[in-house]
């Protein structure tokens, strides 16, 4: 299990850092990123999910620009693959390292891609949305990692009601569409300043639903696992966070997360509320 967590962290770090890359002779760096893609057919609201390796080329010639090579499924029988020209990266005023970009219409075989725009944090997430053939609303995200978060809980203890809020805990999601499952990772999870802090607390094998507005993860009676090396994975410290129910909604086309985890005991229930975004200000 520890190896699995290490792979997840390594994958997230590589994804976040390779966008900067090492300068090559032509001041370009190339990254291959795993992207989650959703294509919504506006004619019938059918949603198609795909996961693909997409290529991004970052160029620094006095100003930053980026070329994107995308591939995704439009439906069960159609796949589109296209490349943009180099798109200027415009610094976003809301946070450091964050840039917006857009592209003119792109032709790829019989397909036309229009209204492409997106946002990238050079040490964080990437989000792109575009329209294919005038009817497929498409959204592509680097594996979701939410850095702007608010985690709060309301719980009942022997001394009475207690509430706590922190912005330290960060969230990660991994989807397995083949099994219709997903995993929620809580990084630096804690419910009080002096309480137990978990490097990673993981709720696995959640039911995954692909929606027209994002994703939904649900589950019940789930014991989390922990990356905290000092404690047994299924020891009492994680057993106390057994989720009687868990619901995670990814909305705003993939850039924002909200959710609830009901845990604790009947005598001392804990209601945990999660809220997170990719960027300080979404597209």
- Looking only at Cα atoms, what is the longest distance across the chain? 67
> Within this chain, do residues 161 and 254 fall inside the same structural domain, yes or no?
yes
Q: How much is the pLDDT for 5?
A: 37
Question: For residue 44, is it within any domain?
Answer: yes
- Mean pLDDT for 249-278 is 89
Whether pLDDT at 2 is above 70: no
Q: What is the CATH number of the domain that holds 162?
A: 2.40.128
The domain boundary, picked from 126, 142, 158, lies at 142
Whether 126 and 203 map to the same domain: the answer is: no
Q: What is the pLDDT of residue 186?
A: 95
Query: In which band, very low, low, confident or very high, does the pLDDT at 235 lie, cut at 50, 70 and 90?
Result: low
Structural domain of residue 184, as residue ranges? 145-277
What CATH number has the domain bearing residue 120?
Answer: 2.40.160
pLDDT at 18 over 50: no
Token pair of 171 as six digits: 């969230």
> Using the 8-state DSSP alphabet, how is residue 255 labeled?
T
With contact defined as beta carbons under 8 Å apart, do 278 and 255 qualify?
A: yes
- Distance of alpha carbon 77 from alpha carbon 57, whole angstroms: 29
- Please report whether residue 282 resides in a domain: no
The residue with greater pLDDT, 111 or 24, is: 111
Helix H segments across the chain?
Answer: 2-17, 236-239
One domain, residues 150 and 230: yes
pLDDT interval class at 197 (50, 70, 90): confident
What's the pLDDT tens digit per position in 53-108?
999 999 998 899 999 999 999 998 899 999 999 999 999 988 888 999 999 899 99
* Alpha-carbon gap, residue 100 to 15, rounded angstroms: 18
Round to whole Å and give the CA distance between 59 and 82: 19
Neighbours of 143 (CB within 10 A): 19
Q: Are residues 106 and 186 in the same domain?
A: no
Do 17 and 30 fall into the same domain? Answer: yes
d(CA 143, CA 120): 13
The angle subtended at Cα 195 by Cα 258 and Cα 200, nearest 5°, is 50
In a domain, 260, yes or no: yes
Last residue of a domain, one of 119, 142, 165: 142
Q: What is the domain count for the chain?
A: 2
Q: Are residues 7 and 138 in the same domain?
A: yes
At residue 122 the predicted structure's pLDDT band, cuts being 50, 70 and 90, is confident
Per-residue pLDDT tens digits for 26-55 = 689 999 989 999 999 999 999 999 999 999
Flag whether the pTM goes above 0.75.
yes
Residue with tokens 């960027």: 279
- Within 133-255, strands assigned E span 136-142, 145-146, 148-157, 160-166, 170-176, 181-189, 198-210, 215-222, 225-226, 243-251
CA dist 279 and 17 (Å) reads: 17
- Same domain? For 226 and 115 the reply is no
My answer on whether 22 and 82 are in the same domain is: yes
Of 49, 203, 65, the closest CA to residue 138 belongs to 49
| Same-domain check for residues 169 and 268 | yes
- What mean pLDDT do residues 258-262 have? 96
Average predicted confidence (pLDDT) for the chain? 85
d(CA 91, CA 98): 6
> Tell me: the pLDDT tens digits for 128-174?
999 999 999 999 998 788 999 999 999 877 777 889 999 999 999 99
pLDDT exceeds cutoff 60 at 25:
no
114, 142, 170 — which closes off a domain?
142
Distance CA 70, CA 135 (A): 18
pLDDT value of residue 236: 60
Please state, in angstroms and as integers, the Cα–Cα distance from residue 176 to each residue in 39, 55, 191, 267, following that order: 17, 21, 29, 35
């Amino acid at each position: 299990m520890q190896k699995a967590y290490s792979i997840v962290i390594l994958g997230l770090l590589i994804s976040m850092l390779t966008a900067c890359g090492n300068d090559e002779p032509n001041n370009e760096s190339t990254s291959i990123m795993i992207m989650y893609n959703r294509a919504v057919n506006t004619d019938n609201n059918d949603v198609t999910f795909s996961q693909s390796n997409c290529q991004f080329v970052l160029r620094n010639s006095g100003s930053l620009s980026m070329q994107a090579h995308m591939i995704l499924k439009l439906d069960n029988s159609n796949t589109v693959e296209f490349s943009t020209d180099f798109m200027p990266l415009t610094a976003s005023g809301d946070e450091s390292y964050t840039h917006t970009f857009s592209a003119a219409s792109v032709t790829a075989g019989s397909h036309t891609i229009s209204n492409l725009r997106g946002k990238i944090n050079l040490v964080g997430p990437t989000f792109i949305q575009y329209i294919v053939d005038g009817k497929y609303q498409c959204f592509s995200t680097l594996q979701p990692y939410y850095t702007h978060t608010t985690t709060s809980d309301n719980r009942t203890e022997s001394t009475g009601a207690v509430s706590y809020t922190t912005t330290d805990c960060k969230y990660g999601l991994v989807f397995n569409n083949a099994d219709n499952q997903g995993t929620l990772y809580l990084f630096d999870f804690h419910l009080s300043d002096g309480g137990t802090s978990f490097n990673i607390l993981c709720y696995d094998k959640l039911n995954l639903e692909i929606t027209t507005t994002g994703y939904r993860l649900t589950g019940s009676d789930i014991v989390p696992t922990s990356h905290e090396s000092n404690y047994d994975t299924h020891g009492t410290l994680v057993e106390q966070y057994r989720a009687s129910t868990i619901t995670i909604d990814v909305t705003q086309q993939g850039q924002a997360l909200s959710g609830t985890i009901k845990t604790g005991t009947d005598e001392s229930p804990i209601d945990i509320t999660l809220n997170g975004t990719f960027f300080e200000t979404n597209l």
